[in-house]
Amino acid sequence: MQVLIDGTYYDKEHAKISVFDHGLLYGDGIFEGIRIYNGRVFELEDHIERLYMSAQAIALEVPIDRVAMFEATLETVRRNELRDGYIRLVVTRGEGDLGLNPVKCPKSSYFIITSTIQLYPPEAYEKGLTVITCSTRRNSPQCINGSVKSLNYLTNILGALELRGTGANEGIVLNQDGWVAECTADNLFFVKGGKVFTPHPITGALRGISRGVVIKLCREQLSIPVEEGLYTLYDIYNADELFLTGTGAEAAPIVEADRRKIGDGTPGPVTRRIIKAFRDYAATSGAPVWPE
């Protein structure tokens, strides 16, 4: 495996960053998780755009421009000869002292890792997932805005820890006002009366790339109305169908929430249509890794 760090490629065993990097010491940095399908990088333009928007939000200067980052991502995939897999693109505040002040970090740093990935087994997409509601709450936008995909993922980790021993595949996270925000690592959707609903980013939900693709496919290809709004667990429990989206999960059905059967307890017809449309789109779109 070849890892790119600040313009230089290293073998996995020699790919290292300083213990004084503020990304490590304080979670002061941003990242993107990106999929590779059939030799194409999924929604790379949107991922790069979100990376730089996150950087702007936390006053982090990315050391290379968007075009260079785009090309560096593709080149890293080429060097690792991946046609299907996962990319982790990270930008940190860089090396500084042990103090908190980011001004003490004169230069930011970036690295790109590629690997393989499979979050859920194939049968999960046929039989469906189960979820529970976590007691951990989503950060208020007045603290860390949910639109910033930062290295500080401790809230998500605490939510994921609540899944231990429950048998649940994922956890629903509410914000501090009780509105449904998202899952610990995925965006959440529900279906009611043939219409698709998903929490508005004002709840603290991440503006997920896969989420955006599903919304676009529903509106432009499948003729399914989509609404972004404020919803409670009441809406989740009484949904006809429930599903989640994410880079690793793609689009996956949920058949049980907090021990309540959703719909008839099997992946619903709208969800199945969306999963198929998503897979078809992922297989035929994206930035080509190798010239065609």
Name the residues annotated as catalytic: 149
- Report whether 271 contacts 244 (CB < 8 A): no
Which residue is listed with tokens 């910033």? 148
Which residue is listed with tokens 């099997």? 266
Q: Name 256's bridge partners.
A: 130, 261
- Could you give the CA distance from residue 152 to residue 154 in angstroms, rounded to a whole number? 6
Q: Which amino acid is at 242?
A: L
CA distance from start to end of the chain: 24
Give me the sign of the Cα torsion angle 230, 236, 241, 244: positive
- Could you give the CA distance from residue 286 to residue 281 in angstroms, rounded to a whole number? 9
Of the CA atoms within 13 Å of residue 280, those in its CB half-sphere come to 9
